[in-house]
A and B are shown apart, each in its own frame.
Chain A
Amino acid sequence: MLVVSDLVAAYGKIEALKGVSLRAETGRITCLLGPNGAGKTTLMMSIAGILKPRRGSIRLGDTELTGLSPARIVGQGIALVPENRLVFPQMSVLENLLAGAYQRGDKAEIAADVERMYDRFPRLRERREQLAGTLSGGEQQMLAVARALMSRPRVLLMDEPSLGLAPLVVAEIFRIVSELNRDGTTIFLVEQNAHMALQVAHHFYLMEQGRVTFSGSPGQLAEDEVIQRAYLGARRAGG
């Protein structure tokens, strides 16, 4: 289980996270909703070790992750699919996958995993020699997910995987998210697309201005009037 407690992160004097506590249960899909600027990406980057939080703790099982380098955190079994995908544009699809397996030494197993990724994402097999920068947005997102999976994470963090993608592609991404989860990967997902997230996630958090303002099951989320208005686009009562 990934547990974040009382996390404070800041850019200079501006606090982006003002004491965030939440948890991603092992084997489940946890989804974090929130408007732009709420601090969702800051939280993800802090868990991955790219940003150094000011206070608080991030634990995976019994291991404290704050203070570890990003490389060590990958070694602990956490992988982040970053916002905007960030594929390596001048490298082939295959090389992107190999970069994802950078910390592993088992060549045969890596090759087998590459094949598994091609099976899961057939478009990547078609384009394996193509430069990643020339892929479409959806293909790049698939590649970013596959690249993260190449480190064989126990916990997969995903920062807005549906951002800027066509509805059909979004549906495909969410299908893969639940598939990965069925295969045993714990998933912690940041989303703005609450409708899609409702169909797959087991638990929801809502974050606003650096604080967690809601925590509950999909049922509770769907019933919450404020969230309905802001994220599910329901009409006002009587409207």
Chain B
Amino acid sequence: MDFLDLIDALQSLADGVLFGATYALLGIGFTLIFGVMHKINLSFAAASIGAAYASLLILAGVKAPPALVFLAAAGCGGVIGGLVYLIGFRFIPLANPLATLMSTVGLLLLIDEIIVHTTAGVPLNYPALFSDVIIRAGPFNLRGDLMFVFLLGCLCMVLLLMLLYRTRLGLATRAMSQQPVAAELCGISNTKVNILTFVTTGIVGGIAGAMIGAAIGMLSPLLSLPLTVKGLIVTVIGGLGSIPGAIIAGLLVGGLENLFQYWRGVSERDLYIMLLLFVFLVFRPGGLFAPATARD
């Protein structure tokens, strides 16, 4: 490998890590709901893309600045998150581990269908922010739109961690995820925490959806399935239920994915990500940050 190759490889890695912030947010969404309810919400990535779509449709008539589109996506994400809870969890027997898995698969397909029907399956352009900005650092170029996506992702993570560790709602959420019966005995309402978790993760998902749209310049119904898979891979590599794990795994998967794409082409890159997942499942099934098991 000569010098220019190395530069290009590093450039791909850096771009991928920046884009990986979106995977990190998706991973956080999966992991947070798992942490609180011990359920996998398979419709999460589809709902996130759906929220980004909804923000475009809402603002279709008006000439809205792109920043407003992001806010609208966050709002739509929150609403969709609440609906996902109501439809897919509220009235489904939670004791049966497969019931909600099936209901969320159903929701994933439903959201996909709604997207395809309302847009006739045609990809829509998504407004990018700072796409004309390019920061040069030596031989490397940092794309403004990716930098923006990365920084927005970091901001979301910081806000989310503050919500979890500095507020009363966060205390209730952590209590519910660690010891649900004791949380109820403390007067914390199970249903309320669950709804709020879905709304919060929905907002995060909506922002992630908008970030993905902005980074690749468009939205397509074909995005939701690969993103579901990526989100789950990030969750497993990070350790189910671990937020720091989801963040690091998201950046890692984003970076490696782009690197593999540079080396082996777009058709092979997911193969290597799957291999990475396989390596983790065999050698470190708990993920990077397996939640510690406490003595009882």
Same complex for A and B? Answer yes
A100 to B188, CA, bound (A): 9
Say which residue of A102, A132, A133 sits within 8 Å of B186 (CB atoms): A102
Contact yes or no, A70 B184, CB < 8 A:
yes
Q: Is B171 interfacial (CB-CB < 8 Å)?
A: yes
A99 to B185, CA, bound (A): 10
Q: Is A206 interfacial (CB-CB < 8 Å)?
A: no
Contact yes or no, B187 A70, CB < 8 A:
yes
Closest to A80 in B: B185
Contact yes or no, B189 A88, CB < 8 A:
no
Q: Is B158 interfacial (CB-CB < 8 Å)?
A: no
Contact yes or no, A50 B186, CB < 8 A:
no
* Tally of contact residues, A, Cβ under 8 A: 31
With a cutoff of 8 Å between Cβ atoms, the chain B residues found around residue A79 in the complex are 185
Contact yes or no, A102 B187, CB < 8 A:
yes
Stretch at the interface among B261-269, B273-281, B288-296: B288-296
Contact yes or no, B185 A89, CB < 8 A:
no
Q: Is A32 interfacial (CB-CB < 8 Å)?
A: no
Closest to A84 in B: B296
Contact yes or no, B178 A71, CB < 8 A:
no
With a cutoff of 8 Å between Cβ atoms, the chain B residues found around residue A131 in the complex are 294
Contact yes or no, A87 B187, CB < 8 A:
no
Contact yes or no, B174 A151, CB < 8 A:
no
With a cutoff of 8 Å between Cβ atoms, the chain A residues found around residue B188 in the complex are 71, 99, 102
Of A75, A84, A90, A151, most buried by chain B (CB within 10 Å of CB) is A90
Q: What is the minimal beta-carbon distance from A151 to any residue of chain B, in angstroms?
A: 6
Contact yes or no, B292 A90, CB < 8 A:
yes
Q: What is the minimal beta-carbon distance from A12 to any residue of chain B, in angstroms?
A: 12
With a cutoff of 8 Å between Cβ atoms, the chain B residues found around residue A71 in the complex are 184, 187-189
Of A74, A86, A151, most buried by chain B (CB within 10 Å of CB) is A86
With a cutoff of 8 Å between Cβ atoms, the chain A residues found around residue B59 in the complex are none
Contact yes or no, B186 A100, CB < 8 A:
yes
With a cutoff of 8 Å between Cβ atoms, the chain A residues found around residue B168 in the complex are 102
The 10 closest A-B pairs by CB, nearest first: A133-B294, A89-B294, A74-B187, A86-B182, A103-B187, A70-B184, A71-B187, A88-B178, A99-B175, A71-B189
Can you spell out 6 A-B residue pairs with CB atoms less than 8 angstroms apart? A71-B187, A82-B181, A82-B182, A90-B291, A91-B175, A99-B171
